[in-house]
């Protein structure tokens, strides 16, 4: 349920899908009358959509950073194993 002033609540914004947010943005831009109010409401929906986009981008970057970290660990381990094996081979020959 929106606030008495007609603005959406935080829980309403969080509960909407991206498509619903976009539909509400378009709906607010299509209203006549008090244009400033509708622009403010549209901005609320756009802010939530932007927050979600940023959160998804951050999650993706964190996932890629973890993958790079894991690959680095594998490469370091393989390098150390190679050095150890070479040292053992030189000691026996």
Give the whole-angstrom CA distance, residue 58 versus residue 52: 10
Most confidently modeled range among 5-9, 16-20, 31-35? 16-20
The half-sphere exposure of 7 on its side-chain side, counting CA atoms within 13 A, is 10
Q: Could you tell me which residue, 1 or 73, shows the higher pLDDT?
A: 73
Q: To the nearest whole percent, how much of the chain has pLDDT over 90? A: 60
Q: Is the pLDDT of residue 85 over 80?
A: yes
Supply the pLDDT for residue 38.
86
| The predicted structure's pLDDT at residue 32 | 65
What is the spatial distance between Cα 36 and Cα 63, in angstroms, rounded to a whole number?
40
Q: What is the pTM of this model?
A: 0.70
pLDDT in tens, 43-77: 999 999 999 999 999 999 999 999 999 999 999 99
Residue with the bigger pLDDT between 84 and 7: it is 84
User: Domain residue spans in the chain?
Assistant: 10-67
């Amino acid at each position: 349920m929106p606030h008495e002033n007609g603005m959406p609540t935080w829980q309403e914004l969080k509960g909407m899908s991206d498509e619903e947010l976009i539909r509400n943005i378009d709906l607010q831009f299509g209203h006549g009358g008090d244009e400033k109010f509708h622009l403010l409401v549209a901005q609320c929906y756009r802010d939530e959509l932007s927050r979600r986009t940023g959160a998804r981008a951050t999650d993706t970057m964190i996932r890629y950073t973890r993958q790079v970290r894991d690959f680095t660990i594998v490469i370091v381990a393989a390098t150390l194993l190679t050095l150890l094996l070479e040292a053992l081979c030189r000691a026996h020959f």
